[in-house]
Structure 1
Amino acid sequence: MTDLGPVPWPPEPIRTGRLVLRESEPRDRPAFIDLASSPDVHTYLGGPQPRDELERTLPAVPGQWPGSFVVELDGAMIGQILLRRATEHRPAAVGKVDLGYLFLPQAWGFGYATEACTAALNWFDSALPGEPVVLATQTANTTSMHLATKLGFTELERFHAWNADQWLGLRPPTKPSA
């Protein structure tokens, strides 16, 4: 099971100080191709996908499923936030919701990932209160590990998979409001 369960989807767009988190639209397809074909974005994710293959195979509206948020800045997609149930992961993660994020290189270093992930996690806490969230990243990806710590994830374990050392973090569930 990879879905989020009984969550109405898509939610209303989520607005932060600078960003909008929303459902994917046809105009986002070029940015999805840029994300998936970027060697920089996929340094720690097994490498980029061939651009020509993406052009042929990517649907007209990519990333359109519950838990997939487009991150928009000034009307343009700069990244994606993913919330999905872990199915084939470490035993400590299976069944929990896994947070993932991808941002175009030109959006790096401005705090957009922190802002967008915080907004997505706040939405998640209100949509599915009392559920923990996990996050996995390569230990070599120190920027991602730093972001995970900033977002409240603590280390559950380290392990070796996909030909690299990995870090698995847990963000404990928030207490449902009475």
Structure 2
Amino acid sequence: MRHVCETERLTIRQLDLSDAEFILHLLNDESFLRYIGDKKVRTREDAINHLTNGPMASYKNHGFGLNLVQLKGESTAIGMCGLLKREELDYPDLGYAFLPEFCGKGYAREAAEALLKQAVVKRGMQTVLAVTAPNNLRSMHLLESIGFNLKGTQELYGLENNLFEYRSL
């Protein structure tokens, strides 16, 4: 487990195979399916394959990926947040998903701000993108509140999404 960063309330670390049960739960949550999409992860084995070929492959290939977000001082996994590099996009994009019982408490914003700051300061990224479903108002509000601007739309995986952009000064 590689520690990525901490905030006042959160510990953020790289995902590993021990997180398979959490990923299985999160990726099948109703809000994940509605706003992000069905990743077809239905079993522990599917979750292990998803982790191996998704976040863990991204760490190896790009040096970053989605990370596990935990409550600080606890091992309670509440969501994931990090940067992805998709072939369809010119720049890395910020992604996040949290279990419903941890939404509306500022955790997603706290994690997103910390990882965005790390992308700019430690990685020298000047542009970071984000995509949201057009009906995901909470996510759009969060992105705008941390400095992203709506740039237009982007089709990803057969669905039209709002495309946001963050530019560091």
Shorter chain as normaliser: what TM range? Answer: 0.7 to 0.9
Contact kept, 8 Å, 2:132 with 2:163, in 1: the verdict is: yes
Report the Cα distance in structure 1 between the residues aligned to 2:37 and 2:111, rounded to whole angstroms. 24
Unaligned 5+ residue runs, structure 1?
1-9, 89-93
Instruction: Count matched residues.
Output: 158
**TM superposition score normalised by structure 1:** 0.77
Deviation at 1:14, TM superposition (A): 0.9
**TM superposition score normalised by structure 2:** 0.81
Contact kept, 8 Å, 1:29 with 1:60, in 2: the verdict is: no
1:41 is matched with 32
Q: Deviations over 1:62-97 (max 9, x none)?
A: 232332211011212111113122312xxxxx3211
Q: Percent identity?
A: 26
Q: Deviations over 1:77-127 (max 9, x none)?
A: 111113122312xxxxx3211111111111111110000001111111122
Deviation at 1:164, TM superposition (A): 5.1
Higher alpha-carbon deviation: 40-49 or 144-153: 40-49
Report the Cα distance in structure 2 between the residues aligned to 1:19 and 1:39, rounded to whole angstroms. 24
Counterpart residue identity of residue 78, structure 1: I
2:124 is matched with 129
SS in 2 for 1:124: helix
Deviation at 1:26, TM superposition (A): 3.8
1:67 aligns with 2:65: yes
Report the Cα distance in structure 2 between the residues aligned to 1:152 and 1:47, rounded to whole angstroms. 28
Higher alpha-carbon deviation: 34-43 or 159-168: 159-168
Q: Note closer, same or farther for the CA distance 1:130–1:46 as it changes in structure 2 (3 Å cut).
A: closer
Q: Note closer, same or farther for the CA distance 1:164–1:97 as it changes in structure 2 (3 Å cut).
A: closer
Unaligned 5+ residue runs, structure 2?
none
2:99 is matched with 104
1:55 is matched with 44
The structure that has the greater radius of gyration is 1
Q: Note closer, same or farther for the CA distance 1:87–1:109 as it changes in structure 2 (3 Å cut).
A: same
Report the Cα distance in structure 2 between the residues aligned to 1:130 and 1:159, rounded to whole angstroms. 21
Contact kept, 8 Å, 1:25 with 1:61, in 2: the verdict is: no
Report the Cα distance in structure 2 between the residues aligned to 1:133 and 1:161, rounded to whole angstroms. 17
Deviation at 1:31, TM superposition (A): 0.9
Contact kept, 8 Å, 2:20 with 2:44, in 1: the verdict is: no
1:83 is matched with 83
Which residue, out of 134, 145, 151, partners 1:150? Answer: 145
Bigger helix share: 2
Q: Note closer, same or farther for the CA distance 1:86–1:173 as it changes in structure 2 (3 Å cut).
A: farther
Higher alpha-carbon deviation: 126-135 or 96-105: 126-135
Report the Cα distance in structure 2 between the residues aligned to 1:71 and 1:42, rounded to whole angstroms. 19
Contact kept, 8 Å, 2:66 with 2:95, in 1: the verdict is: no
* Alpha-carbon RMSD: 2.4
Report the Cα distance in structure 1 between the residues aligned to 2:84 and 2:157, rounded to whole angstroms. 20
